[in-house]
Amino acid sequence: MSDARRAWSDNTHASPLTTIATALEPPPSPIAAPPPRSKWPPPPPLNPPPPSARFFSASMLAPGALALVQSLPFRLFDEDGKLLGSASSPIQIWKDGDCIEQSSTDIWHAICAAVKAACSLANVAGEEVAGLGFAATCSLVAVDADGSPVTVSLSGDTRRNIIVWMDHRAVKQAEKINSSSSPVLQYCGGSLSPEMQPPKKKENKEGDMSFETRITAPMKRDIQQYKATCKTNEVINKSSRVGIPQWISRDLVHLFPELSAAWWMDLSDWLAYRATGDDTRSLCTTVCKWTYLGHAHMEQINEKDSRNMEACGWDDDFWEEIGLGDLIDGHHAKIGRSVAFPGHPLGSGLTPDAAKARILDLKFQEMGLRAGTPVGTSLIDAHAGGVGVMESVAVPDSESKEYEKGAICHRLVLVCGTSTCHMAVSRSKLFIPGVWGPFWSGSKSLFNVPDLLLLSGDLVSMVPEYWLTEGGQSATGALLDYIIENHVASPRLANRAASQNISVFELLNKILESMMQDLKSPFLAALTEDIHVLPDFHGNRSPIADPKAKGVVCGLTLDTSEKQLALLYLATVQSIAYGTRHIVDHCNAHGHQTTLSSVNDPRLEPFPCSLPSKKNPTLGSIQEFQTTPVRKDMNFLARKLCEGL
């Protein structure tokens, strides 16, 4: 990797090594640990695509993370931002209590299938695709020095090498980290969440149970089988081993050193790495999920080398203090020795292996893309959604007056899915207890990109020259799914909705409107005066920052009708809105000036009740609207941001 990454020419990148093998191909040679270096030369300029070229945009979202099978959507856009085609492929997820896991191999195969299907539906040849970008959940991927998956599961299942973002097994490790005195914690609201990466990485025994007590005979057999497939004659030196995920005990790694991963990556970074062979990390993922100090990074760069450089925002004292000092080795190679702004082109683009990836169970179909297709540094899925929404303009405002950039300081972006992320920006640095950030987004003078792109995009964490604050609710869409699907009336409701060719949510909304009329209720919210929900079913991310918090339903009776389910659904929606109100009030009390909320729901489900109507002012003085971007250039450039174009 170091040779490929150091070799530059006047017109193109040198070809990077292909470092991850498909299930049908042997892995390439291991990549050596990177040598010390002072800085990397800036990448050469990339020729823009021809006007007729079509662009490809990819995102990995997981709506309803409690289901066993998820879907991975891929979308094709043309140069005007028009959606040409979309296709989804299922991906598998394993859930056992607080442990939620996925497989990178499974996800990559799903990508291959979705790419082929999207191109076919859009009648677009793979050679026409001019750029590729990834946005994914902040899940943690473990791979070895060959780029092959390393299991993170005590089940011994070698497929499971991803700890999903909402996995909460690291609660105790997060508490231990938060008891430290590291100054990096102040840039995470004063404490790390178990959903962030350092707690997931912390090497520790699980609870008070010994290794022998925790591991079962089937687990031992599975691990022995995995060990037999490894190069057992290869000695893995402790000094070259990365810190093990927090829940895997020292005993497990001592007995099976082959289980030690060489690299730990956010899923979006891994997807870009799998596509290009370049392990450069995104400033978006490292700043927002790894405690990387973006403002320290920005202080060390200049206009010449700002696009891609050696990581200089890591706080080595922090990693030493929490017992993960080995992550400092090799210039932080295991977690990110080189970082780049989202959208920076990686390596030589799509590798031949990735462009023609073969798919299992599909008669060796190929992805059909062109080798060398530009691939951009990735974004976290929520932040990718926030890029376009933050700079979009409400239709009435766009018609009445010219857009004022300073107005974004009054806007709260809600990116909704399994969870909800609440994003706000400010000119000054605001330290808010229980709310992630502040994350610095850099200066426009450092970016050699068009002003239009600067206005639309997040080139570090959110908006250039602003500090990002990020609140959140760990379960919103997932909570609605849970409430509805676990009610005894759910099957009957689903059948009725299917017979009417509408969604369950649309049917519930119709039932509520009918009940309001029948009961002569003054407004919809009055229907739930006797039923209340506390939405912390997966802890409270903000502003209480308590992953141990629990949900509550108050006011239940023996009624099991569809009307009772509709009321419970409405009370749950209201509880989510009240949670948002709590976050807004808390942030405003600490310096924010939010008066407007903008909603981005990637599931595109009709949720007229998802936030209060004018007759139900749960959010107080905050105006709410479903964002309709009228600045199509912003919307399109947000999509293009991580395509390397």
pLDDT of residue 499: 97
pLDDT of residue 386: 83
**Mean predicted confidence (pLDDT) in 12-24:** 23
Interatomic CA distance for residues 558 and 84, integer angstroms:
50
Q: How does residue 44 score in pLDDT terms, banded at 50, 70 and 90? A: very low
Could you tell me the CATH superfamily of domain 402-446+459-607+618-644?
ATPase, nucleotide binding domain (3.30.420.40)
239 pLDDT more than 70: no
Is the pTM here over 0.85, yes or no? Answer: no
Identity of the highest mean pLDDT range in 295-304, 325-334, 367-376, 483-492: 483-492
Q: What is the mean pLDDT of the chain?
A: 73
Amino acid at 102: Q
CATH assignment, 55-165+257-384 = 3.30.420.40
pLDDT of residue 396: 52
Tell me which residue of 146, 154, 85 sits closest to 121, measured CA to CA.
Answer: 85
pLDDT single digits (tens) 557-586: 999 999 999 999 999 999 999 999 999 999
11 pLDDT more than 80: no
pLDDT of residue 491: 97
pLDDT of residue 368: 79
pLDDT of residue 384: 85
Interatomic CA distance for residues 282 and 302, integer angstroms:
18
Dig out the tokens for 367 from the structure: 């992805």
- The share of the chain scoring above pLDDT 90, in percent, equals 42
Domain with CATH 3.30.420.40 in the chain: 55-165+257-384, 402-446+459-607+618-644
pLDDT single digits (tens) 455-468: 333 345 556 678 99
pLDDT of residue 213: 44
pLDDT of residue 211: 40
Contact residues for 224 (Cβ-Cβ < 8 A; gap 6+)? none
Q: How does residue 366 score in pLDDT terms, banded at 50, 70 and 90? A: low
Contact between 120 and 112 (Cβ < 8 Å): no
**Mean predicted confidence (pLDDT) in 331-344:** 89
Interatomic CA distance for residues 618 and 524, integer angstroms:
12
Could you give the 3-state DSSP secondary structure of residue 159? coil
Q: How does residue 297 score in pLDDT terms, banded at 50, 70 and 90? A: confident
Interatomic CA distance for residues 471 and 488, integer angstroms:
33
